[in-house]
Structures are given as C-alpha cells and as structure tokens.
Structure 1
C-alpha cells in the first residue's frame, strides 16, 4: 500500500503540504519537491496563516528553511494556488514560474478584468439568465474593485517551452485557460493542479481568452484528461484531496460521466427546453441559484461540446440563444 513516506525513498523527494479545508474540496495541497540542488514549491495555497504554518512546519520537519527554496512553480492562477507567493518572495526573492496567460490575471490587469466582466454580462444575457445573470455581473464588478490588493507583486517568469528544471510542462487547460501540469518522467508522476481530483469532478470554468472570445473549456478539459491518460502516469498530485494512485481508471470514470451528462442535456432539449438557463434550472434545481457561475459553466461547456460534435445547433432569437438537436437522418 502506498504511503506518503514512499515519496522520500526516491531521487525526487516530495513533501506534501496538505491543509484541511471545510468545503467540498477537503484540503488545499501544495508541494515541496527536492531534486539535486533545487527545492521547488509547486503552487502556494491560500494567503492565510494555516497555509503559512503548513509550509514552514513542513520545511522545518524536513531540515529546510524558506531560504532553501529555489523557485515557485504555479499550475494556474486561481487564488487557492497562489496565496503565499508574495509572502515567500518577500523573504526569499526566488523566481516565480507561470504560464504566459496567467500574467494578466495574476497582476490583476484592469483592462483585462473589465473585459472579462463585460464578457460575462453579454454571455449571461445570450444564455437567457435574466436577473440571475445581472446579479452575478454586479458581484463581479464589486469584486474587481475589492480585490485590487490581491495582485501579485512578485516578478513573474513565463514558462515558454516544454521543459522547466526537472519537469516536462504539459498544457492542460479546461479548469482554467492557463493550467499546466508538471511531469516527472523518471518517476512517472504528474503535478496536475486541478485537472484531476479524486473525490469530486473538477469544473471546466467558462472563460474568455485574452481577446474576449469564449473558450470551449469543457472540450479543452476532455482533451487534457485524455492527454494525461496517454501518459499512463503512476501518481497524480492534485491541488485538493488525496494523492491519486490509479489515475487512468479515475480519468475514464470522469470522461464517462461527462458523456452521460451530455446525453442528458440532449434529452432535456428534445423535451422542449431550449436555452442554457432553462437547462440549468431543470438539471441543477436549487444549485442553479446557490452556485450560479459554476452551474452555468457546466451547462454552457456541455452545449459548446455538443455543438462541436454536430449534435446541436443554435439560433439567436431576440438576443437569446436557443438550442435544438440536429436530426442525424437529415444529415445522411
């Protein structure tokens, strides 16, 4: 049976920092990795005392200090993965490596963030969300102002090729446009951010690209999972929950579930529901109101995926997209 102690018996030593979380995520994970003359911090948790103590306690228990860290490597820009970056680099000014598309998000570039708010405003109108969409856009506008202080102050270095230190970097977008995974080929280990989580499905969050165009995030997420499947890795180190010891079977389970959900949306459209908001309310019930943005990402992602597969078509009626199932017999 695998245990965390096994991670210290190889040429690449991994020291997980696992901070309990009361949400459905169960924990926030980030990792110290010792290889040759480097001590990398992969991701950086929340900006709170629990994560700070977790980092320092893990360093101390294994004979290290903050000054021994040689770099920080980020899987993606989400706030629960970048929290300690400035706190660490203020005491030890080491390089911070990240995907090029992370920069505007991490630096909280105002022009980009304003474009992003307008993107959602238009998106929710076209998906028939009405007042629920308007309320969420109002929240985004407030957050834009309130979270200015969360901009990363540290210098950021773009990862521009597929090799970083001892890792092969692999683009795995879907959960976020800038998500990357770090593959240790010798150990067949993958530090995968939020690509794969053992106890819950990772959301493919609908986002604009840098030019404001909607990214087909669910299709990207599926491609990223298949890319991970092809690697046939032994262990996946996720951003939340337990270390994943049988990644391939879990990936196949996730892919199967996505296809089943896509089929269910087809059935709902055939029953007469034609807009994304109608589908969201019917499928998710009260969760639509409780977790609006997550639910709409799921529905829109599946609609985009089905449209790419030529199983759906859409028509803009009075500013709202209405979806219908393509009759395969007509295509033949």
Structure 2
C-alpha cells in the first residue's frame, strides 16, 4: 500500500512498508507522520527491521524532511509491530516517547508484571481445560520470558494521562490490547486507531490480565471501544494495518454485528454439549486451534466472558475446570 498525503498542508502521511507479502493477513504494517504547526509526530513505529527503517527515512526524504525533524513518537499500544523502531530512532535522534501508562510495564518488561502474566495464563489455560496444549504454551511463555528479558525498550516512556494531547483527543480503546489508545483529530475528523478497526479483517480481542492479575473482559471492552468511536463524527480512520477506512461507522456496525453472531454461534456449541472453552475452540477452529492456540483461546474465552456477563450462560467448576451451560 502506497498512500501519500501532503503533510505540507498539515495532513497525515501513511508510510509505505516494503515486503507486504510477508505479513500474511495483515497486508501492511502502517505507521504515520502527522505535521502540525510546531511538531512532526510519528504515530507508531513498525517492526525493528531494515525495510521499515528504510521506509521511514524514504518517506521523510520524499517530503523534504529528515529524521531530525521528528519531535516525538506516540504509540497506540505496546505490540511489537507498533513499537519496533522506537529505540533505533531515539538512539539516532533523542526525542520523547509517549504511550498509555499501561504500556510502560509491558514495554519495559517489568519483571514482576511479566511473571504475573505467565502465572495468569498458566491458571487460565488449566481452568479452561486446555490440558497438554496449554502446558506446552506455558512452557513456551516461560522460555520466552528468559529469552526476551533483555529486549525491554531502552527509551524513556512518558505516560499520556490527559484527555487532550498534541492537538488530539485521547480515546482509551482497550479490547485488542489493554493499553490501546486512539488519537482523534476532531478538526480534520481523522482517527489514528491502532488495531481497533481494520478494514479487511476483524481485530482480535486478546485476553490479558490487568495489573493485579485479574482477567479483563476483552469482548465487552472491544464493543465499548467501537461504540465510543462511533459516537464521534469521523471521516477517516488510519488503522495499524491495511487501507485507510473512509466509512468507519458502517464498518464498526459490521464488526459489532459479527461479535454478536460469533457469541450466538458459541452459545449453540454449548447447547450441543461442548461445555469447556477448550472443547469449543477445538470443534470451532479445527486445525487453527493448534496453529494459533493463544489467539483462538482468547477469542473463545472472551466470548464466554461476554455471554456470562449477559447472563446467557452460567459457569460452574468441576474439579477446578470451568464448565459453561446455557442459562435456563
């Protein structure tokens, strides 16, 4: 995708990323330059690859700019495809980095939080009846904890705590990620939405713990976040992946409908006798269950929490395993 808008007219620039064929269903990884009167902000920072570094510098140079013209980096959330170049940029050109306060322990790989997160998933996968597959995933997470402990972001991160920041209205839009923010330019009716809304695929609501280790209601959060954005007059959504979205309300409505359809489908599987999250995941996703275990389980667990919150199902533990039944 190569979409260039004239930043000299104080608009936004979507930076093209090379090798999009390697990104699978994501199509592209987008990050953005926003030129305002006294600033040139970079929203998100792609992967830490030479192709993304070259794309950033090429986009700057094609618009008569250099890296040293950047005044700050603003992050929508902590996922690796949104933060990869931060240290490389700041090493070459020291500028402030801003993100949600909830991003900081994740980006800094805070030892206590990262260990709490592994313990959370170990308990979760056991209670959801994941058995040996869950145990393998926990073994992987524990190895990754050791392998990646040196990959904490070196750059200092300043928490965004105000409702207005650098000319943007700050919207907290969790669901896909607990720390996800969207940046709304109300004057131009543009929203930089991270992974909240993507045109060609549904964004996953990913189960995560909060800072105390409690499970977040990710599907409910996703619904609230989509409705929050639908309440504003927005002409264009600049997403973390794929094309710019020109009719966001229609797409938001489609995504909300799809959430309800998926919940009703899961409800039917429970009615047919599949009572654990793991059983539902296996029969619904088949081969994808093994190929994308953590994402599949996030989807199922998130919907079960949503159905329970709506009082459509009840949960009872049998030998410490959660079993779900349709509410009578």
Q: CA deviation at 1:10?
A: 8.0
- Deviation string for 1:214-234 (max 9, x for gaps)? 001111011101111111310
Give me the whole-angstrom Cα distance separating, in 1, the residues matched to 2:264 and 2:9: 46
Q: CA deviation at 1:15?
A: 1.3
RMSD over aligned CA atoms reads 1.2
Q: CA deviation at 1:48?
A: 0.5
Give me the whole-angstrom Cα distance separating, in 2, the residues matched to 1:315 and 1:28: 42
What residue in structure 1 maps to residue 275 of structure 2?
Answer: 274
Asked if structure 1 preserves the Cα contact closer than 8 Å seen for 2:8 and 2:35, the reply is no
3-state secondary structure, aligned to 2:29: strand
Residues 1:92 and 2:90 are matched in the alignment: no
Give me the whole-angstrom Cα distance separating, in 2, the residues matched to 1:265 and 1:232: 34
Asked if structure 1 preserves the Cα contact closer than 8 Å seen for 2:281 and 2:289, the reply is yes
What residue in structure 1 maps to residue 11 of structure 2?
Answer: 13
Q: Which stretch shows the higher mean deviation, 149-158 or 123-132? A: 149-158
What residue in structure 2 maps to residue 322 of structure 1?
Answer: 323
Asked if structure 2 preserves the Cα contact closer than 8 Å seen for 1:21 and 1:28, the reply is no
3-state secondary structure, aligned to 1:112: helix
Give me the whole-angstrom Cα distance separating, in 2, the residues matched to 1:9 and 1:284: 44
Show the 5 A alignment for 1:1-332.
4-5=3-4, 7-8=5-6, 11-19=9-17, 20-22=20-22, 23-327=24-328
3-state secondary structure, aligned to 2:231: helix
Give me the whole-angstrom Cα distance separating, in 2, the residues matched to 1:140 and 1:21: 28
What residue in structure 2 maps to residue 330 of structure 1?
Answer: none
Q: 1:172 to 1:21 in 2, by over 3 A?
A: farther
Asked if structure 1 preserves the Cα contact closer than 8 Å seen for 2:281 and 2:297, the reply is yes
Give me the whole-angstrom Cα distance separating, in 1, the residues matched to 2:205 and 2:119: 20
Q: CA deviation at 1:18?
A: 2.6
- Deviation string for 1:54-109 (max 9, x for gaps)? 00000100011111000000000001100010111111111100000100000011
Q: How many residue pairs end up in the alignment?
A: 324
Gaps of 5+ in 1: 328-332
Gaps of 5+ in 2: none
Question: How does the TM-score come out when normalised to structure 1?
Answer: 0.96
- Deviation string for 1:269-311 (max 9, x for gaps)? 1111100000001111111111000000000000000111111
Asked if structure 2 preserves the Cα contact closer than 8 Å seen for 1:174 and 1:217, the reply is yes
Question: How does the TM-score come out when normalised to structure 2?
Answer: 0.97
Asked if structure 1 preserves the Cα contact closer than 8 Å seen for 2:100 and 2:180, the reply is yes
Give me the whole-angstrom Cα distance separating, in 1, the residues matched to 2:242 and 2:158: 28
Asked if structure 2 preserves the Cα contact closer than 8 Å seen for 1:232 and 1:248, the reply is no
Give me the whole-angstrom Cα distance separating, in 2, the residues matched to 1:124 and 1:300: 10
